[in-house]
Amino acid sequence: SRTREPRGGARGTRRLYIVQKHAASRLHYDFRLELDGTLKSWAVPKGPGVQPGAKRLAVHVEDHPVEYGSFEGIIPEGEYGGGTVMLWDRGTWEAIGDARAAYRAGRLKFRLHGERLKGIWNLVRMSGAAGEKGKNWLLIKDRDEASSRQETTEKKTTSVASGRSMDAIRRGRPRVRRSKGGEEHRA
Ligand code: MN
Protein backbone atom coordinates (compact mmCIF):
# COMPACT_ATOMS: atom_id res chain seq x y z
CA SER A 1 0.00 0.00 0.00
CA ARG A 2 1.15 3.53 -0.67
CA THR A 3 1.32 5.83 2.31
CA ARG A 4 3.12 9.06 2.92
CA GLU A 5 4.70 7.80 6.11
CA PRO A 6 6.81 4.77 6.85
CA ARG A 7 4.82 1.69 7.72
CA GLY A 8 3.58 1.99 11.27
CA GLY A 9 4.49 5.67 11.39
CA ALA A 10 7.79 7.00 12.53
CA ARG A 11 8.31 7.34 16.24
CA GLY A 12 7.44 10.85 17.25
CA THR A 13 5.24 11.51 14.21
CA ARG A 14 2.87 14.36 14.92
CA ARG A 15 -0.55 14.24 13.39
CA LEU A 16 -3.55 16.56 13.53
CA TYR A 17 -5.69 16.50 16.67
CA ILE A 18 -9.04 18.29 16.94
CA VAL A 19 -11.94 18.57 19.36
CA GLN A 20 -15.17 20.07 18.02
CA LYS A 21 -17.93 20.92 20.48
CA HIS A 22 -21.14 19.99 18.72
CA ALA A 23 -24.61 21.03 19.76
CA ALA A 24 -26.64 18.56 17.69
CA SER A 25 -29.71 16.75 18.98
CA ARG A 26 -27.49 16.18 22.01
CA LEU A 27 -24.45 18.20 23.02
CA HIS A 28 -21.20 16.27 22.69
CA TYR A 29 -17.53 16.75 21.92
CA ASP A 30 -16.11 15.19 18.76
CA PHE A 31 -12.61 13.99 19.51
CA ARG A 32 -10.62 13.47 16.29
CA LEU A 33 -7.18 12.02 15.61
CA GLU A 34 -5.62 12.01 12.17
CA LEU A 35 -4.51 8.58 11.05
CA ASP A 36 -3.83 7.36 7.51
CA GLY A 37 -5.15 10.50 5.87
CA THR A 38 -8.47 10.64 7.68
CA LEU A 39 -9.80 11.80 11.04
CA LYS A 40 -10.64 8.89 13.31
CA SER A 41 -13.54 10.21 15.37
CA TRP A 42 -15.17 9.60 18.71
CA ALA A 43 -18.21 11.39 20.14
CA VAL A 44 -17.64 12.11 23.83
CA PRO A 45 -20.99 13.05 25.43
CA LYS A 46 -19.51 14.55 28.59
CA GLY A 47 -16.34 15.90 27.01
CA PRO A 48 -12.79 14.89 27.92
CA GLY A 49 -12.18 14.51 31.65
CA VAL A 50 -8.90 16.14 32.58
CA GLN A 51 -8.44 14.89 36.13
CA PRO A 52 -5.91 12.06 36.68
CA GLY A 53 -7.50 8.76 35.72
CA ALA A 54 -10.77 10.35 34.52
CA LYS A 55 -12.71 8.01 32.21
CA ARG A 56 -15.26 9.24 29.68
CA LEU A 57 -17.40 7.27 27.28
CA ALA A 58 -16.22 7.84 23.69
CA VAL A 59 -18.44 6.42 20.96
CA HIS A 60 -16.54 5.65 17.78
CA VAL A 61 -18.26 7.34 14.85
CA GLU A 62 -17.45 7.47 11.14
CA ASP A 63 -14.16 8.86 9.86
CA HIS A 64 -14.18 12.50 8.77
CA PRO A 65 -12.04 14.14 6.08
CA VAL A 66 -8.99 15.95 7.41
CA GLU A 67 -10.36 19.20 5.90
CA TYR A 68 -13.35 19.01 8.23
CA GLY A 69 -10.97 19.51 11.14
CA SER A 70 -10.91 23.24 10.49
CA PHE A 71 -14.69 23.60 10.34
CA GLU A 72 -16.57 25.84 12.73
CA GLY A 73 -20.09 27.05 12.05
CA ILE A 74 -23.60 25.79 11.51
CA ILE A 75 -24.72 22.51 9.95
CA PRO A 76 -28.26 23.14 8.67
CA GLU A 77 -31.11 21.47 10.51
CA GLY A 78 -32.24 18.36 8.70
CA GLU A 79 -28.72 17.48 7.61
CA TYR A 80 -26.72 14.81 9.39
CA GLY A 81 -25.30 16.34 12.56
CA GLY A 82 -27.40 19.49 12.16
CA GLY A 83 -26.50 22.10 14.76
CA THR A 84 -23.65 24.32 15.91
CA VAL A 85 -19.98 23.29 15.73
CA MET A 86 -17.21 25.01 17.68
CA LEU A 87 -13.50 24.38 17.32
CA TRP A 88 -12.91 23.63 20.97
CA ASP A 89 -9.29 22.44 20.79
CA ARG A 90 -6.65 21.84 18.12
CA GLY A 91 -3.07 20.77 17.89
CA THR A 92 -1.18 17.57 17.25
CA TRP A 93 -1.00 14.10 18.73
CA GLU A 94 1.84 11.63 19.00
CA ALA A 95 1.30 7.92 19.43
CA ILE A 96 3.21 6.15 22.16
CA GLY A 97 4.07 2.99 20.26
CA ASP A 98 2.77 2.04 16.82
CA ALA A 99 -0.29 4.15 16.03
CA ARG A 100 -1.90 1.84 13.48
CA ALA A 101 -1.34 -1.36 15.41
CA ALA A 102 -2.62 0.25 18.60
CA TYR A 103 -5.70 1.64 16.87
CA ARG A 104 -6.51 -1.76 15.35
CA ALA A 105 -6.02 -3.41 18.73
CA GLY A 106 -8.35 -0.89 20.35
CA ARG A 107 -5.76 0.38 22.78
CA LEU A 108 -4.21 3.71 21.85
CA LYS A 109 -1.84 5.57 24.13
CA PHE A 110 -0.80 9.01 22.98
CA ARG A 111 0.44 12.44 23.91
CA LEU A 112 -1.63 15.51 23.08
CA HIS A 113 -0.11 18.83 22.13
CA GLY A 114 -3.34 20.83 22.06
CA GLU A 115 -3.98 24.42 22.94
CA ARG A 116 -6.10 23.16 25.84
CA LEU A 117 -5.54 19.45 26.30
CA LYS A 118 -2.02 18.21 26.89
CA GLY A 119 -0.22 15.25 28.32
CA ILE A 120 -0.84 11.54 28.01
CA TRP A 121 -4.23 10.03 27.17
CA ASN A 122 -5.62 6.61 26.32
CA LEU A 123 -8.43 5.44 24.08
CA VAL A 124 -9.48 1.91 24.97
CA ARG A 125 -12.14 -0.06 23.15
CA MET A 126 -14.60 -1.88 25.35
CA SER A 127 -15.75 -5.34 24.37
CA GLY A 128 -19.40 -5.38 23.40
CA ALA A 129 -22.01 -8.05 23.91
CA ALA A 130 -20.61 -11.58 23.54
CA GLY A 131 -17.12 -10.17 23.26
CA GLU A 132 -17.79 -8.37 19.97
CA LYS A 133 -15.74 -5.35 19.10
CA GLY A 134 -18.05 -2.53 20.06
CA LYS A 135 -18.29 1.13 19.16
CA ASN A 136 -17.90 2.11 22.77
CA TRP A 137 -14.45 3.18 23.84
CA LEU A 138 -13.20 4.96 26.94
CA LEU A 139 -11.18 8.16 26.77
CA ILE A 140 -8.92 8.02 29.82
CA LYS A 141 -6.66 10.74 31.14
CA ASP A 142 -3.35 9.30 32.24
CA ARG A 143 -1.98 10.12 35.66
CA ASP A 144 0.79 12.43 34.53
CA GLU A 145 2.18 15.82 35.25
CA ALA A 146 -0.26 17.59 32.92
CA SER A 147 -3.46 16.15 34.35
CA SER A 148 -3.90 18.03 37.59
CA ARG A 149 -3.07 21.46 36.22
CA GLN A 150 -5.84 21.62 33.66
CA GLU A 151 -9.19 23.29 34.09
CA THR A 152 -12.26 21.22 33.54
CA THR A 153 -13.74 20.98 30.06
CA GLU A 154 -16.89 22.80 31.16
CA LYS A 155 -14.95 25.93 32.09
CA LYS A 156 -13.63 26.39 28.57
CA THR A 157 -16.63 27.76 26.74
CA THR A 158 -15.11 29.58 23.78
CA SER A 159 -13.63 28.62 20.43
CA VAL A 160 -9.84 28.28 20.16
CA ALA A 161 -10.16 29.53 16.57
CA SER A 162 -12.46 32.53 16.88
CA GLY A 163 -13.00 33.19 20.56
CA ARG A 164 -16.76 32.87 20.05
CA SER A 165 -19.25 31.19 22.37
CA MET A 166 -21.61 28.51 21.07
CA ASP A 167 -24.38 31.10 21.10
CA ALA A 168 -22.34 33.57 19.04
CA ILE A 169 -21.58 30.86 16.48
CA ARG A 170 -25.24 29.82 16.39
CA ARG A 171 -26.35 33.40 15.81
CA GLY A 172 -23.83 33.73 13.00
CA ARG A 173 -21.80 36.45 14.67
CA PRO A 174 -18.82 36.76 12.34
CA ARG A 175 -15.33 36.43 13.61
CA VAL A 176 -13.02 39.26 12.70
CA ARG A 177 -9.73 38.24 11.21
CA ARG A 178 -6.97 39.86 9.29
CA SER A 179 -5.88 38.87 5.82
CA LYS A 180 -2.27 38.93 4.72
CA GLY A 181 -2.69 42.47 3.46
CA GLY A 182 -3.62 43.56 6.95
CA GLU A 183 -7.15 44.74 6.19
CA GLU A 184 -9.86 43.37 8.40
CA HIS A 185 -12.70 41.49 6.81
CA ARG A 186 -15.56 39.37 8.00
CA ALA A 187 -15.17 35.65 7.53
MN1 MN B 1 -20.72 15.33 16.25
Distance of alpha carbon 33 from alpha carbon 92, whole angstroms: 8
The CA-based diameter of the chain, rounded to the nearest angstrom, is: 60
Distance of alpha carbon 25 from alpha carbon 96, whole angstroms: 35
The answer to whether residues 135 and 125 touch, using CB atoms and an 8 Å cutoff, is: no
Q: Average pLDDT of 148-165?
A: 86
Position 162 scores a pLDDT of 95
Confidence of residue 13 (pLDDT cuts 50, 70, 90): confident
Tell me how far the alpha carbon of residue 1 lies from the centroid of ligand 1, in angstroms: 30
| Residue among 159, 131, 153, 177 nearest 70 (CA) | 159
Tell me how far the alpha carbon of residue 45 lies from the centroid of ligand 1, in angstroms: 9
**Global pTM?**
0.84
Tell me how far the alpha carbon of residue 72 lies from the centroid of ligand 1, in angstroms: 12
Tell me how far the alpha carbon of residue 43 lies from the centroid of ligand 1, in angstroms: 6
Q: Average pLDDT of 31-35?
A: 98
Tell me how far the alpha carbon of residue 81 lies from the centroid of ligand 1, in angstroms: 6
